[in-house]
Each structure stands twice: as structure tokens, then as C-alpha cells.
Amino acid sequence: MEQYKKEFIEFMVDCQVLKFGDFVTKSGRKTPFFVNTGFYRTGAQLRKLGEYYAKAIHDKFGVDFDVLFGPAYKGIPLTVAATMAISELYDADIRYCSNRKEVKDHGDKGILLGSPIMDGDKVVIIEDVTTAGTSIQETLPIIRAQGNVETLGLVVSVDRMERGQGEKSALQEIEEKYGLKTTAIVTMAEVVEYLYNKEYKGKVVIDDTIKAAIDRYYEQYGA
């Protein structure tokens, strides 16, 4: 496992973004783990998060694209932080863009925030977590409505590695249905591998009880 992935897993624990217990996902599944990127709340945290995203994007897509698109609302700070990090780490000036939930009819009009998307642009989408792939269904039409653009793929922070609408994972379904490449900073398999029965800052984050609950969840919902 790459060093930045290990650091990112610890970073999620430190920021209380990655939690274990009893939760319900947006798709209604009862889950023993939850990833809430809303807990990245400081400038220092967002700067580090942007760097982790930038490395994952660089590994999968390089920097030969034009626009990083972050769906509202959580995608807005993600796209800003990641484009800044790409500039600093790889000396590439990628434009950022997000959508508004409501179309603005005065001043900076329209549905987009940040850079416009133009004919010929290559676009990468950035999100926090994809469980059932519903967000991409709303995002792609917005991007494609802007002109003749090429959407290269999707990057998320954590691949939950569970079924989407069918038997395959949400990211696999997105790849097959929309022809997009997908990647994640880390997968849940990597998270479990790294944290299981390992003491971190005086505490075992994933003990035998939590590991058993995760295993049961994947027996039911695993891809």
C-alpha cells in the first residue's frame, strides 16, 4: 500500500471522518462504518485533503485534463482544495467548476460556479463517497449540457466496495454504464487491512467485534 494511502487512513481517523458503529447510509442501508467528509472543517485539513485527492487523480488520470468538477454541495470545497494541490504538487493549472442547486438569474448567471465548461474540455468529477451511484446520474447531464466535452472519470475519497443498483459495486456500475474511469484515494479493504487489530494513538480502531460487523455487512451488500 502506498504511503499516502496509509497517511490518508490515519488522517480520516484523526478528523473523525471515518467512524465505526451503527449508521444508515443515504441509500437506506444499515452500515457499521460511515465516511462523513463534512468533518473536514479547517483550512489545514482541507489543504491536506486536497493533496491526497491530487495524488489519487495524478495516479489515475495524470494532469492532462482541463476541469475538475465537484457537485454541490460537498464537491465545492473538494474541487477547490484539489485544484490548488494539483497546482502546487504538479505545476498544472486545472480549472475548478461546481454546479449550483438553484440557477442564478442575476450577476454571475447560470447553474455553474467557478470556471465555465467549454467545447473540447476534458473533465474529471470529484466526490466524497459513492454508495449507489445516484449523484453521477444528476451530475453528468449538467456537464454534458455545457457543450462537446469529454468526461474522463470520477475520483472519490473512499470506495465502499459495496453493490450499487445491481450486483456490481457502484464504481464498477458507473464505469460500465457511463464509460468513465473511476478511482478512490483508498478502498475499504485497504482501510480494514491497515487498521484491523492495530493500535493507533493508544486505541485499536477496528477490533474483532467491528471487523465481524464489517464482514457481515459485506456478506449482505458486498460487490
Residues marked as catalytic: 104, 106
Residues with Cβ within 8 Å of 215's Cβ and at least 6 positions away in sequence, in order, are none
Q: Quote the CA–CA distance of 120 and 66 in Å, as a whole number.
A: 9
How many CB atoms sit inside 10 A of residue 93's CB?
10
Residue type at 44? A
CA 17, 19, 22: angle at the middle one, nearest 5? 140
Residues with Cβ within 8 Å of 132's Cβ and at least 6 positions away in sequence, in order, are 26, 27, 164, 165, 170
